[in-house]
Amino acid sequence: MQEQKTPKKPLIYYAIAAMTIMMLLNVFVFPTLLRGNITETDYSTFLTHLDDGIVTKFELDEQTILYATEVDGKEQIYTTGAMPDDNLTNRLHEAGVTFGRVVAQEASPIVSFLMSWVLPLVFFFFIGRILINFMQKRMGGGANAMTFGKSNAKIYVQAQTGKTFKDVAGQDEAKEALTEIVDFLHNPGRYAEIGARLPKGALLVGPPGTGKTLLAQAVAGEANVPFFSISGSEFVEMFVGMGAAKVRDLFKQASEKAPCIVFIDEIDTIGKKRDGAGGISGGNDEREQTLNQLLTEMDGFDGKKGVVILAATNRPDSLDKALLRPGRFDRRIPVELPDLAGREAILKVHSRNVKIEPDVDCHAIARATSGASGADLANMINEGALRAVRLGRDQVSQADLEESVEVVLAGYQRKNAVIQPKEKEMIAYHEIGHALVAACQQDSAPVHKITIVPRTSGALGYTMQIAENDQVLMSKEEIFNKIVTYTGGRAAEELIFNTSTSGAANDIEQATKLARAMITRYGMSDNFDMMALETTTNAYLGGESQLLVSSQTAAAIDSEVLETIRRAHSKAAEILHDKIDKLHELSRFLLERETITGEEFMAILDCKL
């Protein structure tokens, strides 16, 4: 984003630089240049020169004599002090010298006033500006030392964010809600006529990287109104007490510029729940004051004036309730992770910026990236372009994108990692164990790819399953089958090598998470029916859950989770036991190839259950 003010600065700097150079020239360079040609001498030498008849010109300027001599056609200029000499005029006349007296040119009063008063003032003004700028920078770009409490909310105007709704793929609901706001700002009259009151504030909520900031920038691009943008963390910045002052100033500026949009990014930094402890807790006073000021300001201004406040956060549940009540941020615009169509659209938007082969299938990539955010997808396109450059191609190919998906999800390939043949074999059996169990269960997403090339994320190999469509609901059986698939790797190790390895750590974590959720959150347990056992906070940031139950119940939950995982594990072992020939055959094949596709896998398996 471009700040409106920026272009002014260089001009000032040029002006100052020019003035400084002129001054230096005046003081040091010009005088020596002039003096270089003029020789100082004494009055008697002048008289001698006059007697010698070599003086050609003579000037008297107040008390200084300036005269020129000419010897063999070479002119030399001398200066000397004037003496009371009544005879001089006659002698000069006799010697045939052109002579005269310099009449002091009285500068016009205006010019001399300009020179002696205005110029220095202008000069010091500029110097002052430079110093202030310099100080501001030294103080971290924060508050202005001269004007405490001025906010640095930057005004962004239409042309300068360069983003419009076209740059935001998917997110149609969010765009629709925001379009209404933009429309209101364009012709508030239509809304006033019918008596509709637009929400004062709208809160964009969603996981990181889903395009909240981008959407706000697009609103700025769409609306032809001033756009103030500030990040929550900027409020709580340097000096205690500044936050509240900044809020006050921001809203003052905004109501002067109404209709306009104020955008507060990452509002959770100031809008966190205030804790009841009051003075005792300390430390948070600053934030609390800032929040209070924000609430006051939001109540204070007239909604009809046309100041619309947008805010973004990925921690809506940590926001103070007071912020969310009607009249403040009463409209909530969810900005969720993109679905299949959304992912495809985002990939298309971003692939406009890179050279890409015409037959690249964005749909296939979108299918392989369930759960990825817009930022992830943008990153994938870029990784693909980087790979194309690395391989010396000038267009991004499908293979580049497929590899970049894995880079973003699992890290770069560790081509040089040395893995012992025995270990490699175990990894191969482990992965085929997952794949085989997945393939032999109903309603399980088809295997897309199996690889035992290690990745920088620490994964030694993995099995990629890609569902035909995005699923919004999962049945109890599907979740259980998923747990069975997670346990398949370990089950294969046990079956073939009669031991277990540390390679299943991640599987264990995932399986446990799912089994727990089945019981505590989805009500899929026989013992607890539909009882809520857990709440989740911070849903958008990975989710932290808290048990709501007594310690006895917690123990009962634990044993039920364990029982579920045990059941899954033995089911996996059973499947592999039945298919042990295929397990051997596929693992050999994978060991040889290191990476096999879903088709190759199915061709060998050839079992349609």
| Rounded Cα distance, 22 and 26, in Å | 6
**Binder of ligand ADP out of 199, 201, 211, 503 (CB under 6 A):** 211
State the chain's maximal CA–CA distance in angstroms.
136
Nearer of residues 214 and 428 to ligand ADP, judged by Cβ: 214
- How many beta carbons lie within 10 A of that of residue 381, not counting itself? 25
List phi, psi (to 5°) of 43. -65, -35
Angle (CA) 302-306-307 rounded to 5° is 80
Question: Which one of 136-144, 234-242, 486-494, 574-582 is the stretch in contact with Zn ion (CB under 5 A)?
Answer: 486-494
Are the CB atoms for 447 and 464 separated by under 8 Å?
yes
Per-residue CA distances from 468 to 40, 52, 185, 340, 465 (Å): 99, 113, 43, 10, 10
Q: State in angstroms the smallest separation of the CB of 175 from ligand ADP.
A: 9
- In degrees and rounded to multiples of 5, residue 536 shows phi and psi of -115, 130
Binding status of residue 269 toward Mg ion by CB under 5 A: no
- Residue 213 makes contact with Mg ion by CB under 5 A: yes
Residue 214 lies near ligand ADP (rule: CB under 6 A)? yes
Residue 345: how many CA atoms within 13 Å on its side-chain side?
14
The single-letter code of the amino acid at 447 is: V
Which of Mg ion, Zn ion, ligand ADP, none binds 489 (CB below 5-8 Å, type-dependent)? Zn ion
Task: Compose the 301-330 pattern: x for residues touching ligand ADP by CB under 6 A, - for all others.
Answer: -----------x------------------
Query: Which of residues 169 and 483 has its CB atom nearest to ligand ADP in the complex?
Result: 169
**Nearest residue to 483 via CA among 429, 449, 522, 538:** 522
**Residue 281 is encoded by which pair of tokens?**
């807790």
Cβ nearer to Mg ion, comparing 213 with 564: 213
Nearer Cβ to ligand ADP (210/269): 210
Stretch that binds Mg ion, among 24-32, 69-77, 213-221, 357-365 (CB under 5 A): 213-221
Of 234, 431, 493, 560, catalytic: 431
Residue 507 binds Zn ion (CB under 5 A) = yes
How many residues bind Zn ion (CB under 5 A)? The answer is 2
Q: Which is nearer to ligand ADP, 208 or 458 (CB)?
A: 208
| Of residues 213 and 485, the one with the C-beta less far from Mg ion | 213
Q: Which residue is nearest to ligand ADP (CB)?
A: 374
CB of 339 to ligand ADP, least distance (A): 11
Angle between helices 580-593 and 476-497 (to 10 degrees): 80
SS3 (DSSP) at 98: strand
Give the single-character DSSP code of 107: P
| Distance linking the first and last C-alpha atoms of the chain | 56
SS3 388: helix
Angle at 90 between CA 88 and CA 95, to 5 degrees: 95
64-71 and 55-61 beta bridge pairing: antiparallel
State yes or no: residue 503 binds ligand ADP (CB under 6 A): no
Q: Which does 264 bind (CB under 5 to 8 A by kind): Mg ion, Zn ion, ligand ADP, none?
A: none
Does position 201 interact with ligand ADP (CB under 6 A)? The reply is: no
Question: Residue with the closest Cβ to Mg ion?
Answer: 213
431 is a catalytic site residue: yes
Interface pick for ligand ADP out of 97, 218, 223, 346 (rule CB under 6 A): 346
Total number of residues binding Mg ion (CB under 5 A)?
Answer: 1
Asked whether the beta carbons of 450 and 475 are under 8 A apart, the reply is no
Residue 229 in contact with ligand ADP, rule: CB under 6 A: no
Q: Report the partner that residue 243 touches, choosing among Mg ion, ligand ADP, Zn ion, none (CB closer than 5 to 8 A by kind).
A: none
Q: How many residues does the chain have?
A: 609
Residue 375 sits in the site that holds ligand ADP (CB under 6 A): yes
Please report, as ranges, the residues that interact with ligand ADP according to CB under 6 A. Answer: 168-171, 208-214, 312, 346, 349, 374-375, 378
- Positions marked catalytic: 431
Please report, as ranges, the residues that interact with Mg ion according to CB under 5 A. Answer: 213
